[in-house]
């Protein structure tokens, strides 16, 4: 078994344990909306949003032609 496959299996096992231990429903309130979902699903949604925002931010920087470092910051 290659180290990459082993690491993938370990990470998948840890992710499964996390999901199984965080099935309790939490209420989320945002502005006028209120809904309930599991803690693990909420964290998965926040992770996906963070990845998407980071990807879009990096993409917009490359489109402008910058090298990733902004001298104005």
Write out the two tokens for 68. Answer: 């990733």
Which contiguous run of DSSP H or E holds residue 35?
strand 33-38
The tens digit of pLDDT for each residue in 24-54 reads 888 988 898 898 988 888 888 888 888 889 8
Model confidence, pTM:
0.56
Buried b (16+ CB within 10 A) or exposed e, 39-50: ebeeebeeeeee
The tens digit of pLDDT for each residue in 6-30 reads 988 898 888 888 888 888 888 988 8
The residues that bridge with 34 in the sheet, in sequence order, are 29
What does residue 24 show for φ and ψ, rounded to 5 degrees? -65, 140
DSSP-based three-state secondary structure for 27: strand
């Amino acid at each position: 078994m290659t180290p990459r496959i082993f690491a993938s299996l370990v990470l998948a096992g840890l992710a499964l344990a996390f999901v199984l231990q965080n099935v309790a429903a939490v209420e989320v309130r945002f502005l006028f909306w209120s809904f309930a979902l599991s803690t693990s699903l909420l964290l998965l949604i926040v992770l996906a949003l963070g990845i998407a925002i980071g990807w879009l931010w990096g993409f917009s920087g490359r489109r402008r032609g910058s090298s990733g470092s902004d001298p104005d910051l």
